[in-house]
Structure formats: structure tokens, C-alpha cells
Amino acid sequence: MHKNISLINQWHIIVSLIYQIKSLLKNIVNIILNPFGFKLIRTDESNAFYSHLTRILEKKGSVSLMQLGANDGKRFDLLHPFIVANKKYVTGILLEPVHEYFTELQNTYKGYSKLKLLPLAIHSTESTTTIYRHKSLNKTKTPEWTKGIASFNPEHHIQSGVANSDIVGEIVNCISLRELIARENILHLDLLMIDTEGYDAEIICQIPFDKVKPSLIRFETGINFEIITLDRFNQVRNILHAEGYELIIEEEDTIAYLF
């Protein structure tokens, strides 16, 4: 028995030393990286987005969010499972300008009294503009992903291989991000989620950080898919770094978080 206790104590000492060494190595690496503008952090790399969201929820007991380009609220939507699982603790505003998708969004979140749904797009200058979307005439033959390519850019669909004949223009109502934040009296956001098929960078540039500074921002970049140019991404990155955000760059999206 005494021998077993001794072995357990030795094991605890070894584990403690390992953690101390890991902490020391992390500090050393950060000392080396800091002059170059980098930091070594611990994160759940398999799903950093949910890791950060969950951390906010655990810390605050609630999550306030804004989702721009919410579509139908379900299809290819990373936020939907989190909202459903934490219905009592999530408040926010979801925007979707396309009439057909907004109607579906209303059905998705029927009964979610803490969510406000608005049939609007964010635009820096226009009160109305044209959004180009798939016709969706034959829903049995139309691939699901085509409902996610609606864009201000009339040529955005070409990147997805969708024919011009399958695209239709729809006039939608718009508001600037600053105007929306003032109108809705938004004082804080835990999450700003953006998926606007090519307009994400412009929205990042619209964020009134003097009024609201989201703890977490997720936006579409898709540099490899030419959704945004590398030069434009670098401009956005510099804006976010200047505001104190660190970035996690994924294949199609980027996560910005306050460190």
C-alpha cells in the first residue's frame, strides 16, 4: 500500500513538472514571437469558433449576437446548432434581405422571442440595391448550396459555376451597420457573424468600434476561392489588429477574437 502511495505521489510530481515545463516553453516561445506580432495560444483547433462561443457563454451566462446574411437560419449555418442548444441564453438580431429566404428564416426561429429578425442587408451607402440570387424555380432539382450564393456582385455566381440564366436580380432594402446599431440601441455584441458573399470586408470596415466592439467576429474570406483579394484581406487584417483582435484563418472563413 505504501509503495503504491509513493508511486502515485511520484506520478503527480512528474505531471506537475510537465505542466510547468509546458508553461515555461510557451512563455519562451511568446518572448521570441512577440516582436514579430505573433502569440502562442491554446485553442480547440478542431472547432475554434464553438470553443470561443462556449467560453463566452460559460463566462457571462448569455450570448448577444448579430448575424448578417442569415439565409434560412439552418442551411450550412454554423450558428444554428448553438442557438438551438442555448435558446434561453441567446439574444440577437438576424438580417436576411432576400424575401424567400427571410420567410424561411422566420419559420426556422418561430417561437424564439429573444431573436429579432429583419429583412435587411447591410450596405455602406445605399438604402436599396439589387442582390443577385439563384432563381430556385425547381426546388427538387436545385442544389441546396445555390441558396447560399446571393450577392451584390452580379458576377459572384460565376465562381460557383452557376449559369447566368439561373440568376435573377431582386431589389432589397439596406441600412448601414452604424445606423442599425444606433437604431436598435446596441451597446454590446458578443458575436458578429457575417456571410454576405463578397461584401464581408466592406462590412468589417463599417464596424463602429467606437460604439460597439464585438468580442468575436466571424466573416467569410475565401482567398483561395477569390471571394476576397489578398490585398483586401490584408487591409481588413490590419484594421482588426489595430483594434486588438487576434485572427484564426480557416479555409473559407476567418475568426477574429479579442485576446
Give the pLDDT score at 45.
47
**Mean pLDDT, range 230-235, rounded to an integer:** 91
Q: Rounded distance, CA 200 to CA 175, Å?
A: 15
Of the pLDDT bands very low, low, confident and very high (cuts 50, 70, 90), residue 207 is: very high
pLDDT single digits (tens) 57-83: 999 999 999 999 999 999 889 999 999
Give the pLDDT score at 44.
45
Give the pLDDT score at 159.
77
- Is the pLDDT score of 38 beyond 70? no
Domain 41-258 in CATH 3.40.50.150: yes
What is the domain partition of the chain in residue ranges?
1-37, 41-258
Share of the chain above pLDDT 90, in %: 59
**Mean pLDDT, range 30-54, rounded to an integer:** 67
Q: Rounded distance, CA 69 to CA 193, Å?
A: 8
- Is the pLDDT score of 15 beyond 60? no
User: DSSP character for 211?
Assistant: T
pLDDT single digits (tens) 155-174: 887 777 888 888 899 999 99
User: DSSP character for 71?
Assistant: T
Chain centroid to Cα 238, Å, comes to 18
> All 3 cell numbers of residue 237?
487584417
| 25 or 123, which is more confident | 123
Share of the chain above pLDDT 70, in %: 83
Answer positive or negative: Cα dihedral of 127, 133, 137, 139.
Answer: negative
Give the pLDDT score at 114.
97
Q: Rounded distance, CA 81 to CA 161, Å?
A: 29
